[in-house]
Structure 1
Amino acid sequence: MSKTLKECRIPPKKRELFLQMRIETSEELLSYYPFRYEQLQCKPYDEWKTKDRIVIEARLITYPRSFRFKGSRTMTKFQVENEDDVFDIVIFNRPWASKMELGQTLTIIGNYEGNRKITAIQYNTKPLNEQLGIQPVYSLKYGLTQKNIHECITRCYETVRNEIADDVPSEYIRRYRLLHKRDALRMMHFPKSNEEVAQAIRTLKYEEFLKFHLAIQLIRKQNSESVLKEGKHFDFDDVFRLANHLPFPLTKDQVKAVNDILEDLQSQKIMYRLVQGDVGCGKTVVAGLAMYACCLAKKQAALLAPTEILAKQHYQSMKNLLKSTNLRIEVLYSALPTVIKK
């Protein structure tokens, strides 16, 4: 499926911008998914309220005038007319808007400010009826616009759509009622409804997790055959003796998870495990008991957290769990003074 962006007829300047985003092939560009979607609906003028997001099709009746302020920022003003009324339009940082010609028919998307005033977010000359419905919104970088990205993805998809192969086996596609990859990409970038977006996300997420699972299985298999470690020495009873001091009994699933982890720690194979569960189901206790087993084996253990707040919460949880032992417990995060970190 994969072709270069040049083969997909992406202009040179756009290819340079995509290269800065580490996008070099059709596969990478088609994997640049929208981060949200907008529903464009044409609401009757008499239903407009201040701050509403509106879309109108109207004819340009005054020459646009651009003004500079705060350095390089610009503000462009003009008037448009449709069958409902005459509207004053303001759009920021679009100096090229001053080159529009009188009589042009524009589609304007923006926020209604009341008194027939609209702050435009974007405008184009494409007929309104071709733009209504659900529209993808992409993360913008390096000067690219939504129009740029949409046009490039359109060219890319049209070039390779007949060559897009399924990475998920056909048996799984049938069993789990997934889409074919070509259809999923079409619905992701050019959806006709929210239902199509949901179907595309479901299929692409399944593919991503399947690839991740297979990669982990491959690494696990390779390491089990070639990488061995020294098993840790500790007594299971000592670990569960600590668990008996908890103010609540472990659930059957927690006991099983702890047993599986302890067996891995004592073996010569590298452990690859994911503990999955809802918030508050007791995953931290399982991790704490595994860390305690490492300490019983005369080793150190560390629990990593993505935020300072979570690190502090885990620190307090570990203190409560291990308060009956003489183990030293510390917490480290970036805001701590350097002296304490050392």
Structure 2
Amino acid sequence: MTRNKLDQPVTSVKGIGEETSVILAEMGIQSVRDLIHYFPFRYEDYEIRDLADVKHDEKVTVEGKVHSEPSLAFYGRKKSRLTFRLLVGNYLITVVGFNRQYLKSKLSIQQSVTVTGKWDKNRQTISLQEIFFGPIEQQNEVEPVYSVRGKITVKSMRRYIKNALNDFGEWIEEDFPTTLRQKYKLLSKKEALKIIHNPKDRNQLKQARRRFVYEEFLLFQLKMQALRKFNREQSRGIVLLPDKERLNTFIESLPFPLTGAQKRVVQEILHDMESPYRMNRLLQGDVGSGKTVVSAIAMYASFLSGYQAALMVPTEILAEQHADSLSELFENTSVNVALLTSSVKGKRRKELLTRLENGEIDIVVGTHALIQDDVQFHRLGLVITDEQHRFGVEQRRVLRDKGESPDVLFMTATPIPRTLAITAFGEMDVSIIDEMPAGRKQIETYWAKPSMIERVLQFIQKEVQKGRQAYVICPLIEESEKLDVQNAIDVHSMLTHYFKGSFKIGLMHGRLTSDEKDEVMRAFSVNEIQVLVSTTVVEVGVNVPNATVMVIYDAERFGLSQLHQLRGRVGRGQEQSYCILLADPKSETGQERMKIMTETNDGFVLSEKDLELRGPGDFFGKKQSGVPEFKIADMVHDYRALEVARQDAYELVHSSVFWESEEYEKLRDVIISSGIINGDKLD
């Protein structure tokens, strides 16, 4: 078989020598194939636009005639400012260029020029970035911009790729099934590659992008759906068949009726538990949406089927609160609930472990103490992990392995946008509680400037005098020279001085030990501390129904989802609660975030906005989030294509045609080469 010329070293391309090839290799480009698949990260737009449609500070390209002699002013060492007037249609604007003195001799009155730069609408001025003499006809409307390094410039990168496509373009093979290409009217790979690197206009670029966006999403989703399919087929789980009558009696005995969303999610979970496959489900629900009750119903179903359940949570105090609320819910049943944390020691611990192994304990709630070697279950049927992203993959696996293929339910109060959930958790089933219990009071959110701190403190005082409590959140522990941010220690001192001992002010931050943090939180939860100054360590968990005020310093430094999580620490009791955002954001994005926070309490709306404003990278705060890096596709803007690709991938991996037909061979190879399955499984 003839070796594909695209696999030749990059030095085969005209203009690329040994020195350049070393720099390209550092960029991950070693072969001709790598080079032509090195996509632009953005495009320069040279489309001529009417200034009436251009927003302030937007980049624009205009064509016009020079209307005044250019003037040149020098300031500082080797610094100059060139200005000239330009007649653009009915507009007479000023063009300003820095350190462009060479242009003075090249510009003359009535000369046609095309200028690109940033438009200052107020001053009717363009800050010059690029200039072409004469009209722009010979210039493409859009030009690719590549990420480059060393001596390689964007222009030279354009030249190398152009040469590669000219000399090796005929070797580009189509590796996408004709059926799918025809279904969505997608360009061929050869055509799409040529356009992506050298589009004539926006419309052409759109078509090429469509091809690669769908391809990237489909290949990723195929791996996800195959992983899910084969995991399911190999993970024969426990079939849990609870007594439906007793389960319904328990649900009816709950102190409040289930919301429609809770009922739907309970059905999804019970359906999984009754199936012969192991459940692998993510349960998402905003703070206060009632995930605990749903998990309690699942645990009771496990108990009625003769199995034990384990609930793992990130902190001791949260474990205690869960154990207390579950004991209350199961008060009129024969369910035994136990608490296992690192505080349970000696004889008590030994006794508890014996009872757990003998099957006398039906539900155990604990921290990572649950995954220690000496913890043995009698018959573990259900594993629930709360705030699952707080635990490593390995920790979650150890707990799961303590049973023989138990059902697994992950819970999170971090509303994850649907696009992100189906990408990062594509191998899981996702359930969403998107409805709040009736009668729950909305938290009132206000945005205040730091200069209004006196009024905010008076408001805290008024609430505390009514017997309520308040959180005050700061982004950093101690001063940083780089960031002008209020820190927890300073704020604690300031509040102590301001309130002059009229009530107790606590301090909590990440430098405290786990025991110290637990002690502070305990004191706050029983109202021994009235105002708690803290960094974001209070973000998850702890239920203090008496806390009605949440003040967040430098709120513009947090993402929307994190602000929403912090806000969710209040509003857990019967009283009206308030969240005050102290912020003076300079950027439009920062101001937009503050506005959105005051307008909605819906975590899913906020999470979608957060994704738009910040991008998927920082959403989870950790790089181990499992969100893939796509070359061209963007999960936020291309979410419709993501949904389509997911549906197509699901149908493909569940059809015999996909696994047998020659047409899909290359797509199958992607799954096999990723190691999700091996080829012999297909025989």
- Scaled to the shorter chain, the TM-score interval is 0.5 to 0.7
RMSD over aligned Cα, in angstroms? Answer: 5.6
Instruction: Verify: 1:8 aligned to 2:13, yes or no.
Output: yes
- Residues 54 and 18 from structure 1, CA distance in 2 versus in 1: closer, same or farther, beyond 3 angstroms? same
Where 2:383 maps in the other structure, the secondary structure is: coil
Structure-1 separation of matches of 2:382 and 2:55: 68
Selected match of 1:38 from 45, 49, 62:
45
Distance change >3 Å, CA 40–CA 159, structure 1 → 2: same
Query: Following TM superposition, by how much is the alpha carbon of 1:130 offset from its aligned partner in structure 2, in angstroms?
Result: 1.6
3-state SS, counterpart of residue 129 of structure 1: coil
In structure 1, the residue matched to 2:603 is none
Structure 1 residue 8 displacement after superposition:
3.0
Query: 2:28 corresponds to which residue?
Result: 22
Amino acid across the alignment from 1:8: V
**Correspondence 1:264-303 to 2 at 5 A:** 267=277, 271=280, 289=295, 295=310, 297=381, 299-303=383-387
Deviations 1:179-199 (A, max 9, x none): 211222233332333333332
- In terms of mean alpha carbon deviation, does 2-11 or 75-84 score higher? 75-84
> 2:80 and 2:175 mapped to 1: Cα distance?
49
- Which residue in 1 is equivalent to 2:155? 147
* In structure 2, C-alpha distance between the alignment counterparts of 1:37 and 1:253, rounded to whole Å: 48
Task: Give the superposition deviation at 1:32.
Answer: 2.0
Shift of 1:169: 0.6
Distance change in 2, residues 1:250/1:298 (3 Å): closer
Counterpart position of 1:159: 167
Superposed counterparts of 1:202-217, under 5 Å:
202-217=210-225
Confirm or deny: 8 A CA contact 2:114 2:135 kept in the other structure: yes
**Cα distance in 2, alignment partners of residues 48 and 41 from structure 1:** 11
Matches of 1:210 and 1:182, distance apart in 2:
19
Aligned to 1:194: 202
Structure-2 change in CA distance of 1:187 and 1:64 (3 Å): farther
Task: Please list the CA deviations of residues 116-151 of structure 1 after superposition, one character each: whole Å capped at 9, or x if unmatched.
Answer: 965222346797212252x14536453665434433
Answer yes or no: is 1:258 the counterpart of 2:263: no
Q: For the residues of structure 1 that align with 2:137 and 2:384, how far apart are their CA atoms?
A: 65
Q: CA deviation at 1:165?
A: 1.9
Gap change, CA 1:213 and 1:3, over 3 Å in 2: farther
Equivalent position amino acid for 1:21 in 2: M
1:224–1:139 distance in 2 versus 1, CA, 3 Å? same
> % of aligned pairs identical?
16
1:337 aligns to 2:510 (yes or no): yes
Equivalent in the alignment of 1:111? 118
1:34 partner amino acid:
F
- Secondary structure of 1:90's counterpart equals strand
> Aligned equivalents of 1:235 and 1:65: distance in 2?
85
Unaligned runs of 5+ in 1: 322-333
Q: Could you tell me whether the CA contact under 8 Å between 2:82 and 2:104 is conserved in 1?
A: no
Moved more, 200-209 or 29-38: 29-38
- Cα distance between partner residues in 1 of 2:41 and 2:296: 40
Aligned length: 306
Please tell me the residue identity of whatever aligns with 2:10: L
CA separation in 1, counterparts of 2:130 and 2:16? 23
1:153-207 deviation line (CA, Å, top 9, x unaligned): 3233333322222221112211232221122223333233333333223221221
Amino acid at match of 1:23: I
- In structure 2, the residue matched to 1:169 is 177
* CA distance in structure 2 between the partners assigned to 1:302 and 1:112 by the alignment: 50
Distance 1:146 1:292, change over 3 A: farther
**Alignment correspondent of 1:185:** 193
- Structure 2 residue identity aligned to 1:202: R
Deviation, 1:109, is: 1.9
Q: Matches of 1:210 and 1:199 in 2, distance apart?
A: 17
SS at match of 1:168: coil
Q: Deviations over 1:89-124 (max 9, x none)?
A: 524xxx7x6778955998542235699965222346
Greater Rg by CA: 2
DSSP-derived class of the 2:164 partner = helix
Q: Measure the CA separation in 2 of the matches of 1:231 and 1:205.
A: 39
Answer yes or no: is the 8 Å Cα contact 2:44–2:144 preserved in 1: yes
Residue 212 (structure 1) shift: 1.9
SS class of match (1:299):
strand
Alignment of structure 1 residues 43-122 onto 2, 5 Å:
53-56=60-63, 75=79, 77-78=81-82, 89-91=96-98, 103=106, 108-111=115-118, 118-122=126-130
Which stretches in structure 2 are left out of the alignment for 5+ residues? Answer: 1-5, 300-308, 311-362, 364-380, 391-411, 416-432, 438-474, 477-508, 519-683
Q: Matched residue of 2:158: which SS?
A: helix
What secondary structure does 2:165 align onto?
helix
Structure 2 SS opposite 1:166 = coil
- Distance in 2 (CA, whole Å) between partners of 1:26 and 1:284 is 55
TM-score (norm 1): 0.59
SS at match of 1:120: strand
Which AA in structure 1 matches 2:116?
Answer: I
1:157–1:119 Cα change, 3 Å = same
Which deviates the most, 101-110 or 198-207? 101-110
Provide, for residues 43-80 of structure 1, a one-character-per-residue CA deviation record: whole Å limited to 9, x for no partner: 69x99998673345889x989999777xxxx7555578
Deviation digits for residues 283-311 of structure 1 (CA, Å, limit 9, x no counterpart): 9969x6599556363635144469xxxx7
Contact 2:73 2:80 in 1 (8 A): yes
Residue 256 (structure 2) pairs with residue 248 (structure 1): no
8 Å CA contact retained: 2:46, 2:61: no
What amino acid is the match of 2:12?
E
Alpha carbons of 1:230 and 1:28: their partners in 2 closer, same or farther (altered >3 Å)? same
* Closer, same or farther: CA 239–106 of 1 in aligned 2, 3 Å: farther
Q: Is the 8 A contact 2:116 2:128 kept in 1?
A: yes
With the length of structure 2 as denominator, give the TM-score of the two structures.
0.34
Structure 1 residue matching 2:28: 3-state secondary structure: coil
Secondary structure of 1:185's aligned partner: helix
Contact 1:36-1:138 within 8 A present in 2 as well: yes
**108, 115, 130: which one aligns with 2:138:** 130
Deviation at 1:41, TM superposition (A): 0.7
